Amino acid sequence: MRAIEFWKMNGSGNDFIIIDNRDGSIPEEDMSNLVLKACRRRTSVGADGVIFVTNSDKYDFAWRFFNADGGEVEMCGNGSRCVCRFACLKGIAGASMTFETMAGPVSGKVNGRLVNVLMPLPEKLKLDVEIEKDSSWKTVDFVNTGVPHVVVQVESVEEHPVVEQGRALRYHRAFSPEGTNADFIRVLGDDLISMRTYERGVEDETLACGTGAVASAIVCAERGLVRPPVKVRTRSGEILKIDFKKEGERFSEVWMEGSTTIVYEGKLHEEALTAL
């Protein structure tokens, strides 16, 4: 097996392995297993997910996005910011681009480390989900921002048992069979939200979640608690800026802006993909 060239990047602490697979050298049937092995922390590269850049007939490129558990999902906000910068620096696309995802086309604009992406429009927005509530929960809402998110308003984000409650919500029958991501938030002002997220597929809390930041901003705007642009403070401490338009009951032009970091470039060897 040849060594696989990759970049390690993160968006606000949400980290990814990015592989240029436009030549098809990694077959589709091998992707999930590669992701499972490469995302193991301590024994391999370690990451929240893997992005395979592929060809598109309609747009600058396409991607296949896999969470750390080897499952392919439609969308990842922070991953989309990272792949836009990757594509720009590798000459795959210009500073403004559109790429193909399972959630539909995603457009991005790269300005140095700062990347702004046009997110999929929110769907299935539902306030006050009918579910048994923990005494620490003020409100429970749901929205799909490319992937499903339940958004729970709590009194103290910093001290909240995110992993325990997030895992319970992720597998709750109300969100079966596909499950959901779980965001625990506190509104700090009319343009500021603090957020922590338990991510489906990573099966743990992550340092940031782009689609979760969008979900939190959309839900809070629907409740009249914030107005755009909304700053969402992630677990890493970095801020994601969510801007959007709302006309009546419809949201449009949902943009997410945040920084990206190139950690290193490397070659993934066969030994890192063997089972321990």
- 135 and 179 inside one domain: yes
Residue 51 placed within a domain: yes
pLDDT tens-digit profile of 37-49? 999 999 899 999 9
Known catalytic residues are 76, 209
pLDDT tens-digit profile of 132-172? 999 999 999 999 999 999 999 999 999 999 999 999 999 99
What is the Cα gyration radius of the chain?
18
Residue 266 neighbours by CB distance under 10 Å: 15
Residue 118 placed within a domain: no
Computed over every residue of the chain, the mean pLDDT equals: 95
pTM of the shown model:
0.92
- 250 and 265 inside one domain: no
Band of pLDDT at residue 275, cut at 50, 70 and 90: low
- 100 and 131 inside one domain: no
Residue 31 neighbours by CB distance under 10 Å: 18
pLDDT at 272: 83
CA separation for the pair 21, 2 (Å, rounded)? 14
- 186 and 243 inside one domain: yes
- 267 and 149 inside one domain: no
- 160 and 101 inside one domain: no
Query: Is the predicted pLDDT of residue 1 greater than 80, yes or no?
Result: no
- 105 and 222 inside one domain: no
- 167 and 224 inside one domain: yes
- 28 and 61 inside one domain: yes
Its domain, for residue 213, covers 123-254
CA separation for the pair 103, 36 (Å, rounded)? 22
- 137 and 229 inside one domain: yes
Q: What is the CATH number of the domain that holds 20?
A: 3.10.310.10
Domains held by the chain: number: 2
pLDDT tens-digit profile of 9-48? 999 999 999 999 999 999 999 999 999 999 999 989 999 9
- 69 and 45 inside one domain: yes
